[in-house]
Structure 1
Amino acid sequence: MKKLLFAFGIFLIVLGLGLQLFFLRGTKGQALRPNELRSNIAYNDVPTLLIPGWGGNGWTYSKLIKHYQAENIAQKTMTIHVSPTGKVKVKGTVAHKKNALIQLIFDWNYTKDYVPQTKWLKKTITLLHERYHVDKLNIIAHSWGGSAFVHAVADSKILQKQVAYPKVILLGTPIDESFDENISYRQAQKQGSNDENYKQLVKKFKRFAPQSNITFYNLMGAVAGEKTDGSVPNVQSKFLQKLLRPAWSKYYQAVYQGVDHTGLHQNVRVLDTMDKILWNKKTIALKEQ
């Protein structure tokens, strides 16, 4: 019996490692088809970095990448792996690639908070700038991946001054984790925060000075008529706007009814909104969905 239990335990470990390796694979890239370029799409040289949230991996943005490639809107041209020790490994290029997608994968993304991801992001974006000459970068970030990005740029004057972020899309990103879905954003502001990470952000954003304007798009989900996507209450995400200043930012938000936390990077309604934000020739107005 002991041998059987031992063998079963080994099987589970091997299975778990196999699944982990499977989910760390990057999504296959597909080049834009020159003879099928779309008249409503602006094909430009600004790459988009795809940042997963806690526990996220190669699967997180797989549907997004395949959808945009099938529609001939964008192309995945680079994969970045970051090891648990912070070693950054890059495969591919963004040079001379229109509407390039960069798939970022943290090889161990099961941390107690987003502090490691914040450090890894600072290294990753710095490397993109110094080695690959990326001086403009759009962002799509899910959940704690968005939290890590906001903290990373707030922490670093270098990232603020050397790289421009024309469009930043946050998906179900908690900014102030003090509150649950039972309190409104207005009430929460009056009550005041007890989230030390948010309090640090407030201080850092008072000195925040990006090289050019950033347009933030705060996309949230709502399930079962509640003011939460099932994991992150909308009120936590809405505190992003408290950090921003009109002198260097614009802010838009939308809540997608019937879309849960995972659906924010899977649901076609959200994917269609994001491609219009990033690459549509006409400016779109976000609406509550």
Structure 2
Amino acid sequence: MTLKWHWLPTVVIGSWLSYRWVSRLAVAPQPLTVRRSDVRYDRTPTLFIPGWGGHAWTYNRLLRWLAQQGYGHKVLTVRVDWRGNPHFVGHWDGLATNPLIQVLFDHSLTRDYQPQIGWITQILRVLKQRYGVTAYNAVAHSWGGSAAIHSWLLHGQATDLPQLRRLLLLGAPVDESVTGGPADVAYQRLRAAGHHLRANGRETVINVYGTLTGRQTDGSVPVQQVRALRPVLAASSVVYREIHVPRTSHGQLHASPRMWRFIGKTIWGDNQKAANPNSVNG
């Protein structure tokens, strides 16, 4: 029995390393082989940003599906290492084919999403410097969405960053304070940054949240934490929409085929309007 226990640390460490390796296996870049008549194509990249504990699996299936359905195709993987340095893998020729960029964080189990704010901002800076990107879309889940909205509001006016076009948030908590508890400092800072928004901006923010039957939560994020974004953008020219997806858990917001169809039509649909995930077909 003693000899068996001696092997336990090796097994645990080996399993963890195997998980880390497999979780970083992002879907490979691929050309766009299918074009749809109901999709608008341009060279604006769309970033796919995972939440806390997110990994390559978060969006691998979605990215494959988007390419198969002709909405867009993956061109780059951006992996942020433990020191916060972004590494770009892949080739992007700048063609108007709805390029998709998968973002991965080596340190995905952070105490909060503050580090991700800086990492996302740096990724955007490099995209402009290296690839000449002037505008971008983003699909962001959970804390990835929290970081993305902070990056945009706090730093989006910088001239060395591309301008946001469309931001699709999936179950992103914005105000994580609790009744009777201390205020969420990050949320207070976000509200104070609202004056940074351009008066003539054309940004669109689509804030999606799920609920489980009979509950005001998706199982991880309460509805009020998501909808707290509304007063932040209320006085701006930003096009803001909230979309409720009932009977949908936190993980299903990015992993459900119903949501994949919604994401495709919302970001690249010919009419550029946010559809209802419960009624989207094709």
**Same fold flag (TM > 0.5):** yes
* Match of residue 106 from structure 2: 107
CA distance in 1, matches of 2:196, 2:232: 11
Contact 1:265 1:271 in 2 (8 A): yes
Whichever residue aligns with residue 151 of structure 2, its letter is A
* Match of residue 29 from structure 2: 29
Spell out the pairing of 1:98-247 with structure 2 (5 A cutoff). Answer: 98-156=97-155, 158-159=157-158, 162-179=161-178, 194-209=183-198, 212-245=201-234, 247=236
CA distance in 2, matches of 1:126, 1:213: 20
CA distance in 2, matches of 1:205, 1:93: 36
* Match of residue 237 from structure 2: 248
- Aligned to 2:164, the other structure's residue is in SS state coil
The Cα of 1:284 is off from its aligned counterpart by 3.1
* Alignment coverage as a number of residue pairs: 277
The Cα of 1:113 is off from its aligned counterpart by 0.5
CA distance in 2, matches of 1:207, 1:282: 28
Whichever residue aligns with residue 88 of structure 1, its letter is P
Tell me, yes or no, if structure 1 residue 15 matches structure 2 residue 4: no
The 10-residue stretch of structure 1 (126-135 or 137-146) with the greater mean CA deviation from structure 2 = 126-135
CA distance in 2, matches of 1:232, 1:81: 26
CA distance in 2, matches of 1:135, 1:243: 25
Distance 1:225 1:25, change over 3 A: same
Contact 1:46 1:136 in 2 (8 A): yes
Whichever residue aligns with residue 186 of structure 2, its letter is N
- Aligned to 1:216, the other structure's residue is in SS state strand
Give the structure-2-normalised TM-score: 0.91
The Cα of 1:274 is off from its aligned counterpart by 1.2
Whichever residue aligns with residue 227 of structure 2, its letter is K
The 10-residue stretch of structure 1 (154-163 or 39-48) with the greater mean CA deviation from structure 2 = 154-163
Q: 1:74 aligns with which of 72, 75, 95?
A: 72
% same residue: 30
- Aligned to 1:146, the other structure's residue is in SS state helix
Whichever residue aligns with residue 29 of structure 2, its letter is G
CA distance in 1, matches of 2:248, 2:255: 9
CA distance in 1, matches of 2:10, 2:199: 51
Root mean square deviation, CA, Å: 2.1
CA distance in 2, matches of 1:262, 1:159: 33
Contact 1:153 1:160 in 2 (8 A): no
- Aligned to 1:56, the other structure's residue is in SS state coil
Contact 1:205 1:243 in 2 (8 A): yes
- Aligned to 1:112, the other structure's residue is in SS state coil
* Match of residue 46 from structure 1: 44
The Cα of 1:206 is off from its aligned counterpart by 2.5
Contact 1:160 1:211 in 2 (8 A): no
The Cα of 1:121 is off from its aligned counterpart by 1.0
Deviation string 1:159-214 (CA, Å, 9 cap, x unpaired) is 4774111110000000111248xxxxxxxxxx998211111111122233388321
- Aligned to 2:11, the other structure's residue is in SS state helix
- Aligned to 2:151, the other structure's residue is in SS state helix
Tell me, yes or no, if structure 1 residue 85 matches structure 2 residue 88: no
**Unaligned ranges ≥5, structure 1:** 181-190
Tell me, yes or no, if structure 1 residue 259 matches structure 2 residue 253: no
* Match of residue 57 from structure 1: 55
CA distance in 1, matches of 2:156, 2:64: 35
The Cα of 1:245 is off from its aligned counterpart by 4.5
CA distance in 1, matches of 2:154, 2:229: 16
* Match of residue 268 from structure 2: 279
CA distance in 2, matches of 1:203, 1:239: 14
* Match of residue 259 from structure 2: 270
CA distance in 2, matches of 1:248, 1:9: 56
Contact 2:172 2:226 in 1 (8 A): yes
Give the structure-1-normalised TM-score: 0.89
